[in-house]
Amino acid sequence: MNEQKRLSVIKTPFLDALREIYPADRLLAGSVQALAYESDALTAFNARPQAVVLPETPDEVIETVRLCSREQIPFVARGSGTSLSGGSLPVAEGIVIALNRLNRIKRIDAETRVAVVEPGVINLDISRAAEPYGLYYAPDPSSQSICTIGGNLAFNSGGAHCLKYGMTSNHILGMTVVLADGEVVTLGSASLEGVGVGPDLVGLFVGSEGLFGIALEITVRLLPKPERYCTVMAAYDDLGTAGDAVAQVVASGLLPGAMEIMDRLAIKAAEAAVHAGYPPDAAAIVIVELEGETRQVDEEFKALQAVIQASGARHIHIAKDADERARIWKGRKSAFSAVGRLSPDYIVQDGVVPRGHLGHALTEINRLSREYGLEVANVFHAGDGNLHPLILFDGNQAGALERAEALAGEILRMCVALGGSITGEHGVGMEKKAYMTTMFNETDMDTMKAIRMQMDPGLIANRGKMFPGD
């Protein structure tokens, strides 16, 4: 389709109205520059938006959403595009509202331990800004050095330390949002005092995957930086035993800040990428991190050491200083991208199983890997049972993608059968729409759809995501 014909799909008056809001360098319509917005980190899906706008103020976002509402043009809010579920995939007849330039940290209040930020602020930048006050922002997804807080809020992101500190929803106190019809509302407050009073509208909005509107200003909770860390890496001869070790740690009564597992393939990839010091001959490693006051960590370490030694670990290593701790975590947080060294293509899945079933789930994933003839690298937040199997395939081979997607679906069905979930933090997006009815019954689905229709009857906010047939 030639450029002139493609642009005619959107009414000329609509494009003209966008030009009234945005200068030419912040309205990408029919430009090669818009190619970068055709997909997010799940590149198996792509669509070319009719236009991309780059607002620099909340007022520009509000005006754009109101224009879309009047003209019934679908819009997708996007941050850094790190979604692994196709959550920020454009709608072909719609526009992308790219929020990266709304990246101001408006206020840090050390006394009340809160920060007020715009949606385009990078996750890690909040902790950097809070560091002089001895504070930090706890949710730490692997992409925290590039992902935005607006995207974290939309998908209720977690991270390595969500076992102890919870998900994004546990750290959002309030927000100002523009709903899909252009109405601007304030949800929650700037303090914990209002929590538990009235309906939890903040909880409703967090994790709604952009189906209700766009957060313009977000108040997040900050925590005091731990006085001491103790990071333990244990190597195992098989993946199932490593999974059982996690359950044993939790059963002992310990609550580590983080517990992560990586299997042989993930270890190999991370070592090649960042030289984290992982044992290359291990079938799996478990990373356990204790944190808190020095006396507390010292006592917990004694108990942890006894559990790990009794769990069948063949090698135990304790990080001797901050640099070694950082190197261990760099390997874990680089694992997703590092797996690209092993395979030209891969799918990152995101299911959850109860901790007590971790060993069984990992054994079953290995069986499915053999059945489908596809290698699977396992990297996951073991503490809360959030699996991240990376299914390796070569997209140049006929039927390889379809086989990988079928294997991914088997893993999700297994998670639900074991009492878990089809997603832990990546969201449903485009990728898992077909599995919603595996987890939810007809009443559940009707209720969720009714809430969506009340908030956005025109289905213009992130149209096509989450619900089968939408």
Domains and CATH numbers, the chain: 3-98 (3.30.43.10), 105-224 (3.30.465.10), 228-417 (3.40.462.10)
Residue 101's contacts (CB-CB under 8 Å, 6 or more residues apart) are 54, 55, 56, 120
Res 355: pLDDT: 84
| DSSP annotation of 192 | G
Nearest Cα neighbor of 458 from 90, 180, 47 is: 180
Q: What share of the chain is helix, strand, coil (3-state, %, to 5)?
A: 40, 20, 40
CA–CA dist 268, 281 (Å, integer): 9
Nearest Cα neighbor of 80 from 27, 152, 15, 32 is: 152
Residue 17's contacts (CB-CB under 8 Å, 6 or more residues apart) are 67, 71
CA within 13 Å, CB half, 381: 29
What distances in angstroms separate CA 153 from CA 204, 290, 381, one per listed residue? 11, 26, 19
CA–CA dist 233, 327 (Å, integer): 12
Q: In what order do the strands lie in the sheet with 27-28?
A: 27-28, 51-53, 95-98, 75-78
Beta strands in 49-132 (DSSP E): 51-53, 75-78, 95-98, 105-109, 114-117
How do the pLDDT tens digits run along the chain, 470 residues long?
444 444 444 447 899 999 999 999 999 987 677 888 999 998 888 999 999 999 999 999 999 999 999 999 999 999 999 999 999 999 988 999 999 999 999 999 999 999 999 999 999 999 999 999 999 999 999 899 999 999 999 999 998 899 999 999 999 999 999 999 999 999 998 776 656 667 899 999 999 999 999 999 999 999 999 999 999 999 999 888 898 898 899 899 999 999 999 999 999 999 988 899 999 899 999 999 999 999 999 999 999 999 999 999 999 999 999 999 999 999 998 988 889 889 999 999 999 999 888 888 988 999 999 999 999 999 988 888 899 999 999 989 999 999 999 999 999 999 999 999 999 999 999 999 999 999 999 999 999 999 999 999 999 999 999 999 87
Pairing state between β 95-98 and 51-53: parallel
Per-residue tokens: 40: 């997010």
Got the DSSP string for 323-355?
Answer: HHHHHHHHHHHTHHHHGGGT-SEEEE--EE--G
Res 7: pLDDT: 43
What distances in angstroms separate CA 57 from CA 6, 67, 144, 173, one per listed residue? 29, 16, 23, 22
Res 31: pLDDT: 66
Residue 306's contacts (CB-CB under 8 Å, 6 or more residues apart) are none
CA–CA dist 467, 429 (Å, integer): 9
Task: Report residue 95: phi and psi, to 5°.
Answer: -125, 160
Res 192: pLDDT: 66
Which sign does the torsion angle of CA 400, 405, 408, 413 carry?
A: negative
CA–CA dist 173, 165 (Å, integer): 15
Beta strands in 8-91 (DSSP E): 27-28, 51-53, 75-78
Q: Is the distance from CB of 282 to CB of 267 less than 8 angstroms?
A: yes
Token pair 């912040």 is found at 26
CA–CA dist 19, 56 (Å, integer): 14
Q: In what order do the strands lie in the sheet with 172-179?
A: 105-109, 114-117, 213-221, 172-179, 184-188
Residue 295's contacts (CB-CB under 8 Å, 6 or more residues apart) are none
CA–CA dist 352, 333 (Å, integer): 19
CA–CA dist 22, 20 (Å, integer): 6
